[in-house]
Amino acid sequence: MLRRMFICMLGVTFGWSVILSPHVAQAATEMTTLEYGNGATYYGETKNGKPHGNGTMTWGKTKTYKGSWTQGKRSGHGVYKVITRGEDRITESKYDGNWKNDKKDGKGKLQVNEIALTGEMLESRIQTGTFAKDQWIAGYDIRNGEYDPPYYFAYKDSKMSFKILGYAGDIWNDLKNGYIFSFTYQKGKVYKSVGVGDEYNPKQFSSFIKSVEKEIKPHINQFEKLAKQL
């Protein structure tokens, strides 16, 4: 009796394996290589002959995108790197974030370095936060270059924005003591702008900075962290 039950169960198990195995094979996605006339090459998952799923596109030696695709367009999370050479500089760009319909869209981080042909760094920039249709629209924008002052700091969201031209290292104390090149703040109808050469009351400015301390200081702390990445 036990032997007959064992044989019966073995037969049922074998039958299910035969039924399920084709579906398992179909679930496995094959990696495909696609060649394009413009010199681009794609290797990854495809659907209907187009990049779809995860894969990498290379455009010669200067551009690469590795990440998610939907019907031939960058969609979802991915990393895009570009190197361009100008008359006097090389520009290196890297975007790590979300995409939609082949454009930067959603949360992401863009870093751009401009380097002289002799090797010196001319300008370094980070934009992080929210992008829409390839444009940065909210978050942090930090730049460092061969200027005086060397740093540009900006933050903006749907309600408030402010900018500082000055130096990294102790932005908050510099701001409180007026040791900055310029400061601009806007929230609704409240607007404050002070720059070198402007006539303003230092005490009133100090009082204003104290009134917005809780609002802007966390963003200034983030300025400091991002400045260290430049």
The band of 29, judged by pLDDT with boundaries at 50, 70 and 90, is low
Structural domain includes residue 60: yes
Q: Is residue 18 part of a domain?
A: no
Nearest CA to 140 out of 122, 123, 152 is that of 152
Q: What would the mean pLDDT of 172-191 be, rounded to a whole number?
A: 93
Residue 27, token pair as written in the block:
């679930």
38 and 119 co-located in one domain: yes
Last residue of a domain, one of 146, 164, 196: 146
Q: How many helices (H) and strands (E) does the chain have?
A: 4, 13
6/60: higher pLDDT: 60
Lowest mean pLDDT among 68-72, 126-130, 136-140, 176-180: 176-180
The total domain count for the chain is 2
Determine, yes or no, domain membership for 153: yes
Please give the pLDDT value at position 218.
97
Who has greater pLDDT, 185 or 7?
185
Do 137 and 202 belong together in one domain?
no
Residue 202: band (very low, low, confident or very high) from pLDDT cuts 50, 70, 90? confident
- Cα–Cα dist 156/223, whole Å: 12
Which parts of the chain fold into alpha helices (H)? 2-27, 171-176, 202-211, 213-227
Q: What is the percent of the chain where pLDDT is above 70? A: 87
Same domain, residue pair 114 and 200: no
pLDDT in tens, 109-133: 999 999 999 999 999 999 999 999 9
Pair 140, 37 in one domain: yes
> Distance between alpha carbon 130 and the CA centroid of its chain, in Å?
8
Q: Is the pLDDT reported for residue 5 higher than 80? A: no
**Would you say residue 24 lies in a domain?**
no
Domain shared by 135 and 41, yes or no: yes
- The CB density around residue 165, as the number of other CB atoms within 10 Å, is 20
Tokens of 55: 């894969």
Q: What share of the chain in percent tops pLDDT 90?
A: 77
The owner of tokens 């002052």 is 149
Asked if 129 and 59 sit in the same domain, the reply is yes
End-to-end CA distance of the chain: 77
1 occurs within a structural domain: no
186 near 194, Cβ under 8 Å? no
Q: Domain for residue 161, yes or no? A: yes
- Last residue of a domain, which of 85, 113, 146? 146
Residue 12 lies in a domain: no
Give the up-direction half-sphere exposure of residue 55: CA atoms within 13 A in the CB hemisphere.
26
Pair (124, 86) in one structural domain: yes
| Whether pLDDT at 55 is above 50 | yes
Boundary-marking domain end, from 98, 129, 146: 146
pTM, to two decimals = 0.85
197 with 190: CB under 8 angstroms?
Answer: no
Domain of residue 99: give its range. Answer: 30-146
Both 123 and 43 in one domain: the answer is yes
pLDDT of residue 48: 92
Say yes or no: 39 and 137 in one domain: yes
Question: According to the model, what pLDDT value does residue 178 have?
Answer: 84
Q: Name the average pLDDT for the chain.
A: 88
Q: Please tell me the predicted confidence (pLDDT) of residue 28.
A: 41
Do residues 140 and 152 share a domain? no
| Per-residue pLDDT, 196 | 79
Is position 41 within any domain?
Answer: yes
Q: Do 142 and 34 share a domain, yes or no? A: yes
For 38-50, the pLDDT digits (tens) are 889 999 999 999 9
Provide the pLDDT confidence category of residue 11 given band limits of 50, 70 and 90: very low
Residues 89 and 62 in one domain: yes
Predicted confidence (pLDDT) at residue 7 exceeds the cutoff of 60: no
